[in-house]
Amino acid sequence: MLHNVAVLLLDEVHPFELGVLSEVFGLDRSEEGLPVHDFAVVSAEGPVLSTHAGFTISTPHGLERLEEADLVAVPAGSRFMEREYPDEVLDALRRAVERGARVLSVCSGAYVLGAAGLLEGRRCTTHWRHAAELARRYPKAIVEPDVLYVDEGSVITSAGTASGIDACLHLVRQAYGQDAANTIARRMVVPPHRDGGQAQYINRPLPRNACDTVGSTLAWMESHLDQEMSVEQLAALAHMSPRTFARRFQQETGTTPYRWLLRQRVLLAQHLLETSDRTIDTIASQTGFGTAATLRHQFVRTLGTTPNAYRRTFRGPGAGPGAGPERAMPGVA
């Protein structure tokens, strides 16, 4: 079970992520029939720690408190991507896993688990801005940058900031059932489960490479996203054979014409969902997907969420007529 929870703090801890762990595991909700955890905040670097927000945190608990914890959680902190960690901290994390406890990281806390060797051969995640560096620094880790959290049994990693809530509620759901997770979620005024993953939040426009021979064709493609186009047609515009065009396109953009076009269409659909009240059918037509069903399929495949869910996330419930059910997909939420 999950009776004893310890949060491991390093200097320059981020208060929000610490607050998430304290809110889920540190409050007494016994009047609502929920279990009460033996909760402690543990300092790894002295009795007084700084936060990145400019205030300090003090705690009487040292690393010895980790030895009795069922769950050891590591919230995010500043400079976690570049700093070193005390050997006794890493040893304590390894011992926790070896004796059957679970460890959880929030955001850049994954770097601490990586330094302890706990991510080797395991799927894991962190904030999308730090995922590439996590993979570079710990090449034996299997980094998944598009998800909200990853549960690998003894090691749970969550993505940026609020996804720590998702991971914590997931652990509550496992330990005590759906009703307990729902009760805590209602108290926190958050959804008990979020659809999709980090992909919908990642700011990743396509790179603009120096294109010597296909640049003008790219510009044409970008201004005609609503139209059907083939490699043969694009090659003719570039005055090349289809085979030569496909090869040059790959060399100069790093991807195929189809994938480049698909990503540009999804980006345009994201923009229209965020900034307009156009219906899903209209956006599907204007972005070259043709039907709402095709748009939805590609959106889920690329971003892990539906167009309607994306619009609600980035525009809110009063987003206009386009925020209603996707008419081409009746019965599908």
Could you read off the pLDDT of 114-149 as tens digits, one per residue? 999 999 999 999 998 899 999 999 999 999 888 889
Domain boundaries, the chain: 4-201, 215-323
Average pLDDT, the chain: 86
Quote the pLDDT of residue 326. Answer: 37
d(CA 90, CA 216) in angstroms, rounded, equals 54
d(CA 5, CA 72) in angstroms, rounded, equals 6
Q: Which CATH superfamily is domain 4-201 in?
A: Class I glutamine amidotransferase (GATase) domain (3.40.50.880)
Quote the pLDDT of residue 206. Answer: 46
Place of tokens 């100069």: 252
Tell me the sheet residues that pair with 194. none
Greater confidence (138 vs 211) lies with: 138
Buried b (16+ CB within 10 A) or exposed e, 304-317: bbbbbbbbbbebee
Alpha-carbon Rg for the chain, nearest whole angstrom, is: 24
Q: Over the chain, what HEC string results?
A: CCCEEEEEECCCECHHHHHHHHHHHCCCCHHHCCCCCEEEEEECCCCEEEECCCCEEECCECHHHHHHCCEEEECCECCCCCCCCCHHHHHHHHHHHHCCCEEEEEHHHHHHHHHCCCCCCCEECCCCCCHHHHHHHCCCCEECCCCCEEECCCEEEECCCCHHHHHHHHHHHHHHCHHHHHHHHHHHCCCCCCCCCHHHHCCCCCCCCCCCCCHHHHHHHHHCCCCCCCHHHHHHHCCCCHHHHHHHHHHHHCCCHHHHHHHHHHHHHHHHHHHCCCCHHHHHHHCCCCCHHHHHHHHHHHHCCCHHHHHHHHHCCCCCHHHCCCCCCCCCC
pLDDT tier for residue 263 given thresholds of 50, 70 and 90: confident
pTM check: above 0.75: no
Q: Please determine, for residue 323, whether its predicted confidence score (pLDDT) is greater than 50.
A: no
Q: Please determine, for residue 316, whether its predicted confidence score (pLDDT) is greater than 50.
A: yes
- Measured distance between the N- and C-terminal CA atoms of the chain, rounded to whole angstroms: 34
Quote the pLDDT of residue 275. Answer: 83
Fold annotation for 215-323: Arc Repressor Mutant, subunit A (1.10.10)
